[in-house]
Amino acid sequence: MDAEYVAERERLIAEDRQWRVDALALGQATEAERKADEIVRKLRAQENETVWGPNAPPIPGSLHLFPGMGFLTARETILKTKVYSILSKMPKGGVLHAHLDAMVDARVLLDLALKYPAYHVRTDVSLTTETISTTLPEFSLLKENEWTAPASLTAETYTPGSWVPLAQARAAFDPSLGGPEGFDKWVIGALTINPTEAYHTHNTTDKIWSKFQSTFAGLNRYLPLWTEYIRQFFLSSVEDGISYVEPRIPFFCKYMIGADGEENVPHREWLIAFDRVVNEVKVALANQGRADEFVGSKIIYSALRNCTPDELEWYLEDCIALKQEFPHLICGFDLVGHEDPLNPLTYYMGPLKMFVKRQKELGLDIPFIFHAGETLGDGSPADMNLYDAILLGTKRIGHGFSLVKHPRIMELCRERQIAVEVCPISNEILRYTGSMPMHPLPILMNQGIHVALSSDDPAIFGNMGLSFDFFQVLVSSEVTGLITLKEMARDSIKYSCLDPDERARALSLYDKRWLTFVDWVVDTFGEGSTAYADRN
């Protein structure tokens, strides 16, 4: 190629990528950043052959290996890669799309529940080797006077439908079904999605959503457990390099169950507990000299998009009341649930418009942060939600999977700095995309849409933290590198609901940690390192 052509080609490529989040950063990268980026690109190229290539060792459960392949099958292999080991150390910024009910590892959740004698479990048929694979456990929190005597779900004498104390059910689980470990496997299987379900038996968005919904077992509606659950959520996020979380909390139920077993704990008491745990975690980290690793958490109030407009009015008023009492915690409002079959935003236009008006009167600011376009539809009501989300002034868009179809909305997102919460692994498991290489994320990035990578419901999908989502994104693109990921992570702080001064502090802490991370990558994997010598 002659020099003139090469120059013209580079100009065209630069024009094409001018809007990307990394467009400026690539030019301003430090020497160390460039080195770290190159190291990761080389490792990726190597592992895309040795781990994901046609001659790589087989992965159980999959005929087909490639970078960005189905996460549920690839997960254990990802954990063994060098690229993952690097990304797991990367500072991630914030998680902006996270449903609180699915943020703590199912194993940890079960262990928490086993501690409380109020937890009971039952099944609607006797559990045998034949029935166990198709039978789901049902959980309940009983008041102390309703607690049942020790029994076994697997005994011949078990009466289907009768409650058994959870810990007892586990201890007495029949050895033919695996004993206590078989119990754990059965319960965790019910709380998560497995590869066969996602990639075979339930391999459409509608079907896998039905399985997905069944995994919400309501285990964390018990305030004593919930408090510990939130703590685990914060701490495990921090361990993955996440410094801020902005969960959507489902306020569908008006009351949680208190320590006494009574279902009478109102929303404001949830927030008091939440606030306390945020502060306790901050103190605990500060005591370890890690104060800079966690800047806090705010809450997106979430109602379910199957309620009536009248019911929604109640939630909106409740949200306002909570905002007035906890202005530092409530930071947004959303309607959640499976968009395709549930009500579109237009159905709620009256109350939503009124909510905006009421806030003006009261001098409040609770932005909408709507789920919209989480669909494969083209012109379907869920796809059309994007128009209404924009017209209602949404601060960010949750998922926006179909946003790439809409040039004018993307333009407005650029102009109005509306970021999109993209959940790559969630989209793949819920069958919006066949695999990461088919995912529309590169379209959004090249269109200059700011993206906050998120995990959505990691307890169910197995993508705890953000390392897995960053991994799938990185290995599926030859444009994206470490510097791109840094800018995406910074965007998850920039487009969060942190106040301007909190945000500035969070960004500055991020940049500091990033420098340490980059040096670590170069020291550990660069020329001269042991890892480098092993490789070459």
- Annotated catalytic residues are 374
How far is it, in rounded angstroms, from Cα 478 to Cα 396? 27
Taking each helix axis as running N to C, give the angle between helix 500-525 and helix 482-494, from 0 to 180 degrees, rounded to the nearest 10: 160
Task: Decide if 491 contacts 450 (C-beta within 8 A).
Answer: yes
Q: 108 vs 376, which CB is nearer to its own copies?
A: 376
In this structure, what token pair is assigned to residue 202?
């339930």
Nearest approach, Cβ of 449 to its own copies (angstroms)?
11
Q: 74 vs 112, which CB is nearer to its own copies?
A: 74
How far is it, in rounded angstroms, from Cα 90 to Cα 482? 9
How far is it, in rounded angstroms, from Cα 229 to Cα 376? 33
Nearest approach, Cβ of 37 to its own copies (angstroms)?
14
Length of the chain equals 536
How far is it, in rounded angstroms, from Cα 423 to Cα 430? 11
Q: What angle do CA 443, 237, 318 make, to 5 degrees?
A: 85
Task: Decide if 187 contacts 110 (C-beta within 8 A).
Answer: yes
Task: Decide if 402 contacts 375 (C-beta within 8 A).
Answer: yes
Residue 426: which of 338, 342, 488, 326 has the closest Cα?
Answer: 338
In this structure, what token pair is assigned to residue 350?
């009256």
Nearest approach, Cβ of 388 to its own copies (angstroms)?
7
The single-letter code of the amino acid at 202 is H
Task: Decide if 363 contacts 328 (C-beta within 8 A).
Answer: no
Nearest approach, Cβ of 355 to its own copies (angstroms)?
14
Q: 85 vs 435, which CB is nearer to its own copies?
A: 435
Q: 375 vs 496, which CB is nearer to its own copies?
A: 375
Question: Which ranges constitute the DSSP H helices of 165-299?
Answer: 166-171, 179-191, 195-196, 205-214, 223-239, 267-287
Q: What angle do CA 339, 340, 346 make, to 5 degrees?
A: 65
Q: 122 vs 431, which CB is nearer to its own copies?
A: 431
Nearest approach, Cβ of 82 to its own copies (angstroms)?
21
For residue 516, the tally of other CB atoms under 10 A from its CB is: 11
Task: Decide if 281 contacts 234 (C-beta within 8 A).
Answer: yes
Q: 15 vs 31, which CB is nearer to its own copies?
A: 15
Q: 259 vs 479, which CB is nearer to its own copies?
A: 479
> Which residues make Cβ contacts (< 8 Å) with residue 41, sequence separation at least 6?
481
In this structure, what token pair is assigned to residue 448?
């200059």
Q: Which residues bind its own copies (CB under 8 A)?
A: 1-2, 5, 8-9, 12-13, 15-16, 18-19, 54, 63-64, 66, 200-201, 203-204, 206-207, 346, 349, 353, 376-380, 383, 387-388, 390-391, 404-409, 431-435, 437-438, 440, 442-443, 446-448, 476-480
Nearest approach, Cβ of 117 to its own copies (angstroms)?
42
Q: 439 vs 513, which CB is nearer to its own copies?
A: 439
Task: Decide if 223 contacts 253 (C-beta within 8 A).
Answer: no
Nearest approach, Cβ of 478 to its own copies (angstroms)?
4
Q: 41 vs 505, which CB is nearer to its own copies?
A: 41
Question: CA separation (Å) from 372 to 102, 209, 375?
Answer: 20, 16, 8
Residue 312: which of 345, 360, 268 has the closest Cα?
Answer: 345
Task: Decide if 62 contacts 76 (C-beta within 8 A).
Answer: no
How far is it, in rounded angstroms, from Cα 498 to Cα 262? 35
Nearest approach, Cβ of 516 to its own copies (angstroms)?
29
Nearest approach, Cβ of 352 to its own copies (angstroms)?
10
Question: CA separation (Å) from 401 to 12, 42, 462?
Answer: 27, 30, 21
